[in-house]
Amino acid sequence: MKFMNLLANENQLFYRFLIVCVWKLIIYFLLLISCISTIYAQDVSGIWMSYNNGVSEISQSNRLGEDRMLVNFDKKTITNIETNSTIDFSIKLKKSRIKAKGKKGKLFFQKLGTDSMVMKGAKNVQYNLKKLNLIHEIALEENDIASYLIDQQCDAVAGHRLVFTAEQFPIDKQFRQPHTKHRLINENLITPGYWFVRKIKENAFIVFTMGTNEPENIFQITSIALNGFKLMPLQHDKKLKNVNLLKTCL
C-alpha cells in the first residue's frame, strides 16, 4: 500500500514538473516571438524611393508623402528626387508609423521583403517604395555629369533620337518654376520632354521623359566610361525596357 502511495505521489510530482516545464516553454516561446518581432520592426534602414506613380488621390500639397519621395530612415528625413528640400519625421517602429513635421496625416509602412515596402496613408493613398542600392559611387558632380551628357551623347535611345539640352523645361519656365528640369528634345515627337541628374550619397541617377505627356523614367548610373553611361532601371516606360546604356562619343 505504501508503495502505491509513493508511486502516486511521484506521478503527481512528475505531472506538476511537466506542467511547469510546459508553461516555461510557452513563456520562452512568447518572449522569443516578441524579440524577433522587435528586431524585424527595427530592421528599417537606408534610403527608399517611391516609384511607378504608386500614388492615388493626392489633393493637399501640405500632406505627408508624394510621388518620387525619398525616405531616409537613417537620418529620418523625407525629400524628393528632384529637389533638395527636406522634411524631418519621427518614427514609431512598433506601430510601423512615421509622422513628419508640418504635414498632415501619418504613414504606416509594411516591408515586403528586404528591398520593397508599402506605405499607406489616409483616403486610400498608397506609396510603393524600393530600397536604393547605393554601392555605385560616381566621382563626378551633378553638373559635370549633365554637361558631359549634353556635349557627348550621340546615339539613339530605343530608336528615338534624343538631344539633352541645358535649357529649362518649357512648362516650368512658363510657370516661373525653379530651373531643376532641363529640356529634352525628342526628334520623333513634337513636344519636348525633360531630364535632370541627381546624386544621392555619391550615387548618380538620371530622370527623364521622352515627351511632355510621356511616362517618367528613372535610371541609376552605375558607371561612366568613354562609350557612355551604364544604367540600371528603377522605373521606365515599356519601350525602354532594354536600355542599359546612354552612348557617348568623344
Provide the strand spans (E) within 73-215. Answer: 77-80, 87-92, 97-100, 107-111, 116-120, 126-131, 162-168, 182-186, 193-200, 203-209
Please give the Cα distance from 218 to 183 (Å, whole number): 16
Residues 201 and 177 sit within 8 Å (Cβ to Cβ): no
> Does the pLDDT value for residue 230 go beyond 70?
yes
Nearest-CA neighbor of 200 among 111, 151, 138, 117?
138
What single-letter DSSP state applies at residue 188? T
- Per-residue model confidence (pLDDT) at position 191: 95
Question: What is the arithmetic mean of pLDDT over 66-79?
Answer: 88
> Does the pLDDT value for residue 188 go beyond 50?
yes
State which amino acid sits at residue 155: D
Q: What is the pLDDT of residues 81-112, one digit of tens each?
A: 988 789 999 999 888 999 988 887 888 999 99
Q: Which three cell numbers stand for residue 204?
A: 548618380
> Does the pLDDT value for residue 31 go beyond 80?
no
> Does the pLDDT value for residue 163 go beyond 90?
yes
Q: Which of 1-5, 64-68, 78-82, 192-196 has the highest mean pLDDT?
A: 192-196
> Does the pLDDT value for residue 202 go beyond 60?
yes
Average pLDDT, the chain: 83
- Per-residue model confidence (pLDDT) at position 25: 62
Mean pLDDT is lowest, of 56-60, 73-77, 175-179, for: 56-60
**Which residues contact residue 180 at a Cβ distance below 8 angstroms, ignoring those fewer than 6 apart?**
82, 83, 172, 196
Residue percentage of the chain with pLDDT more than 70: 76
